[in-house]
Structure 1
Amino acid sequence: MRIHLVDGTYELFRQHFSPANKDADRGATRGVVASCLSLLEQGGTHVAVATDHVIESFRNAMWPTYKDGAGVDPHLTAQFSVVEAALTAFGFPVWPMVEQEADDALAAAARVAAADPRVERVAICTPDKDLAQCVGGKVWQWDRRQDKWFDADGVHARLGVAPASVPDLLALVGDSADGFPGLPGWGAKSAAAVLDRFGHLEDIPADPLGWDAGVRSAAKLNAVLREQWDLALLFRDVATARTDAPVGTVDEWRWAGPTAEAAAVAAELGAPRLRERAERLAERVA
């Protein structure tokens, strides 16, 4: 059994800004549904989707400039509820996140799936580096646009640290997409070198002479870290995916065909071929 966990927010953005999208109001939704159907056509059986139903989350209370949806194309924002309803009509489990984020739902589902002895592989379908912290064992990350797969070694090759150190890395270097800055002077190379050697913030020696990680300006970086220690811990907490979102069980994620509402939804989207594709797939799994 192989599980596909789809970052619906990323997919919606990707489809919306695709050069092929000529319909700002519904094109992204059609693209996301088609993308999920393609996973089934490639042999997928369990496909679930997490979305940021509300862009803001509990993290906005943790850091004032955390992403809040400002500047997002209103045509795109308006499609979140539309794509959630469309995916549900086509038979896909959907987790529309409000207090937490889509990343948290994906992390929670990856934990549930990895614990199921029947599951051979879990694919978190997103290129988002935040989700790299969930990779390991059965859990892989799949950048579908570039068709690149990342296991734990792949994460290390990509980011310079093990998956467990990804929140620590983001704490030091920040994440412009999520709206928190990291610590001054800490770049990706220096942070990765130190964390690759020591793993977590708490394990970085207080005396930079003991770092032995080949980092320039170690004394200066260490001074910044010690002076802004509480901020580093806060940023790491912000960057840490929660795994307690209610996502149900693996058996509930198995695709069993479109619902009775799929025909009406396909008509509303101006995409009758989506319904036809879903019906053909349903015959296969019947």
Structure 2
Amino acid sequence: MIVHLVDGTYELYRQFYGQLGRHTDEHENAGVMGVLSSTLQLLQDGARHVGVATDHVIESFRNDLWPGYKTSDGMEPDILRQIPVLEDALRAMGVTVWAMEEFEADDALASAVRVACEDRRVHQVQLLTPDKDLGQCVSGRRVVQVDRRNDVLIDEAAVRA
């Protein structure tokens, strides 16, 4: 079994800005539509065990620890508004969603990697994000990252290179 773990916040950003460049008429949920389309493609390509983590709230416990840590200040309001819409739409598709409030989407993805790796039925975990922070989860070819935008698979050798 292959487990696919998606960085939903990254995908929403990517699709939001990608859709802006494609369409002259703005659609209020263009980012959501893009993520749903790419998730549907993932399912049509054979993915059966998919989890998506989102930053339901951008601020986390890290803001209390480190002044100046990232906040939602200055973020595009249309992106923030689409986060709960995306979460609901993915759930309606039958996709597992971890909507993070105290912790971050990265934390959920790293935890999901650990849980998946403890299951002997799981042959590979694919982290669908180019986020280099999650490179610490990559292990051999069992846990890999997939940069879907650039169509690149990143295994442990690639992380170390």
1:78 pairs with 2:43: no
Instruction: Give the counterpart letter for 2:41 in structure 1.
Output: S
Query: Which residue matches 1:123?
Result: 126
Task: Quote the offset at 1:69 in angstroms.
Answer: 1.2
Q: Deviations over 1:7-38 (max 9, x none)?
A: 00000000000022553520000111111111
In the other structure, the counterpart of 1:212 is none
Residues in 2 aligned to 1:119 and 1:23: alpha-carbon distance in whole angstroms: 41
Conservation of the 8 A alpha-carbon contact between 1:25 and 1:76: no
Contact kept in structure 2, 1:96 and 1:102, CA below 8 Å:
yes
- 1:143 corresponds to which residue? 147
Partner of 1:41: 44
Q: Which residue of 2 aligns with 1:13?
A: 13
Shift of 1:153: 0.7
Alignment TM-score, normalising by the size of structure 1: 0.54
The CA deviation string for residues 183-220 of structure 1, in whole angstroms up to 9 with x for no partner, is xxxxxxxxxxxxxxxxxxxxxxxxxxxxxxxxxxxxxx
Percent identity over the alignment is 54
Q: Deviations over 1:147-177 (max 9, x none)?
A: 11111111011xxxxxxxxxxxxxxxxxxxx
Residue ranges of structure 1 left out of the alignment (5+ in a row): 158-286
- Cα pair distance change 1:23/1:92, threshold 3 Å: farther
Name the residue aligned to 1:171.
Answer: none
* Backbone CA RMSD of aligned residues: 1.0
| Larger fraction in strand | 2
Q: Which runs of 5+ in 2 are unaligned?
A: none
Structure showing greater radius of gyration is 1
Q: Which has the higher helix share?
A: 1
In the TM superposition, structure 1's runs of 4+ consecutive aligned residues that sit over 4 Å from their partners are none
Aligned residue pair count: 157
Q: TM-score, normalised by structure 2?
A: 0.94
Greater relative contact order (Cα 8 A, min sep 6): structure 1 or 2?
2
Note the alpha carbon deviations across 1:72-99, whole angstroms, 9 max, x for none.
Answer: 1101110000000000011101000000
Q: What letter is aligned with 2:15?
A: Q
